[in-house]
Amino acid sequence: MRNCWKWSSLLAVGAFGLAVVLGPAEAQTRLRFAGNFPEDHTATGAMKIFKEEVEKRSNGELQIDNFPAMQLGGAQENVDQVRSGTIFAVVTSIAYFTRTVPEFETLSLPFLFDTRAKAFAVIDGDVGKKIDAKLLDNGFVSLGYGELGYRHATNSQHPIKSLEDFKGLKIRLQPNEVHLATFRALGANPIAMDVKELYSALQQGVLDGQENPYNIIATRRFNEVQKYLSATGHFYDMINVVANKRAFEKLSPEHQTIVRESMLAAMEWQRAEAERLDLVWRDKLIEAGMEFNEVSPEARAAMRKATASIAEDLKKRVDPALVDQVLTEATK
């Protein structure tokens, strides 16, 4: 009877992405951490640093089981698994939280951030605190933000050198309404799709193109099924790490601090490494045979003008004051 009770307790705790393994001297807690980025992506590198830091700082009392590269499913599946508590945490693009916390869309406005520094000043400040509070209301604890990067368009039809070149292209986007509305305004035919399905859709010609940072295009080998790479830089995108609120609150205050501080160290490394490698990934794509083109200031201005109404449309879905705050802070 005693053994039955112990197993029942372990199963109940495991339902929240957290399992307690009883040793002869102390309890050991294992936390399942998922990611949908490839093994050679900086987000996966951050997962490794997080594991090392947590286990070192907790003297092994906390153990991190990492599942990168879509081992536990696609991005949306991982988010749903954190929500239900079957895994402890996930690192993914903020786009996969916009349907739960539409305030994230304020960070996704087209041509918003001229520099990375501006983007992180916004998310690390008051705007980030407001968004984190919305996450908490929905059962998620925010653990940190990193760089996904400036997003650029690829396609199999022709270079994108002007606004007119977007016309009619079937382009995959993340499930983010601002992103989708932006590409409609540009004249494209955007289709929301999980990244796990994207390579085959491009390979089979279901889609003409997609848009991602150089690092994603390279690490997911989209260059194998796309010919043209255009430096549109239409969005600056971030990754975020969230944990299941119930599982996080089951940790002791000391362990909660260790988790937060370890993720801070991991995200500081990830931001710097992602910036360092950005143009390295671009050059690898060119070396691999993609036809690359810059976008002229005139063409970029036309794209910006075509998407100028997106911010006003967003104010119908989220607090207009937050939209204005992001726009103001982004231009400081």
pLDDT at residue 12, rounded to an integer: 42
Q: Percent of the chain, pLDDT > 90?
A: 92
Q: Does 311 have pLDDT greater than 80?
A: yes
> Is residue 202 in some structural domain?
yes
> Is residue 280 in some structural domain?
yes
pLDDT at residue 27, rounded to an integer: 73
Closest CA to 203 of 235, 172, 166: 172
Instruction: State the average pLDDT over residues 78-103.
Output: 97
When pLDDT is cut at 50, 70 and 90, the band that residue 132 belongs to is very high
> Is residue 332 in some structural domain?
no
- Rounded distance between C-alpha atoms, residue 201 and residue 192, angstroms: 12
> Is residue 330 in some structural domain?
no
Could you list the residue range(s) of the whole structural domain that residue 160 is in? 2-96+105-313
pLDDT tens digits for 153-212?
A: 999 999 999 999 999 999 999 999 999 999 999 999 999 999 999 999 999 999 999 999
pLDDT at residue 113, rounded to an integer: 98
pLDDT at residue 71, rounded to an integer: 97
Residues written for the chain: 332
Mean pLDDT, the chain, whole residue set: 93
> Is residue 276 in some structural domain?
yes
Q: Give bridge partners of residue 147 from the DSSP assignment.
A: 238
Instruction: State the average pLDDT over residues 108-129.
Output: 98
| Domain count for the chain | 1
- Rounded distance between C-alpha atoms, residue 87 and residue 124, angstroms: 26
Bridge-based pairing of strands 62-67 and 140-155 is unpaired
Long-range contacts at 111-114 (CB < 8 A, ≥ 24 apart): 111/233, 111/234, 111/300, 111/303, 111/304, 111/307, 112/235, 112/236, 112/326, 112/327, 112/330, 113/236, 113/330, 114/330
pLDDT at residue 254, rounded to an integer: 98
pLDDT at residue 11, rounded to an integer: 42
When pLDDT is cut at 50, 70 and 90, the band that residue 3 belongs to is very low
pLDDT tens digits for 248-282?
A: 999 999 999 999 999 999 999 999 999 999 999 99
pLDDT at residue 217, rounded to an integer: 98
pLDDT at residue 310, rounded to an integer: 98
- Rounded distance between C-alpha atoms, residue 131 and residue 126, angstroms: 9
| Angle formed at CA 18 by CA 14 and CA 19, multiple of 5 degrees | 65
pLDDT tens digits for 5-31?
A: 333 333 444 456 776 544 433 579 999
> Is residue 228 in some structural domain?
yes
Q: Does 318 have pLDDT greater than 70?
A: yes
- Rounded distance between C-alpha atoms, residue 268 and residue 273, angstroms: 9
CA–CA distance from 11 to each of 8, 15, 86, 140 (Å)? 5, 6, 11, 21
pLDDT tens digits for 35-57?
A: 999 999 999 999 999 999 999 99
Judged by DSSP in three states, 203 sits in: helix
DSSP 290-322: -EEEE--HHHHHHHHHHTTTHHHHHTTTS-HHH
> Is residue 46 in some structural domain?
yes
Instruction: State the average pLDDT over residues 216-238.
Output: 98
Helices (H), the chain: 2-14, 42-57, 75-84, 116-123, 126-137, 177-185, 198-203, 214-219, 245-250, 253-287, 297-306, 310-314, 320-330
Q: Give bridge partners of residue 63 from the DSSP assignment.
A: 30
pLDDT at residue 16, rounded to an integer: 62
pLDDT at residue 25, rounded to an integer: 39
DSSP, res 64: E
Domain harbouring 86, CATH code:
3.40.190.170
> Is residue 124 in some structural domain?
yes
Q: How far is CA 315 from the centre of its chain?
A: 23
Judged by DSSP in three states, 141 sits in: strand
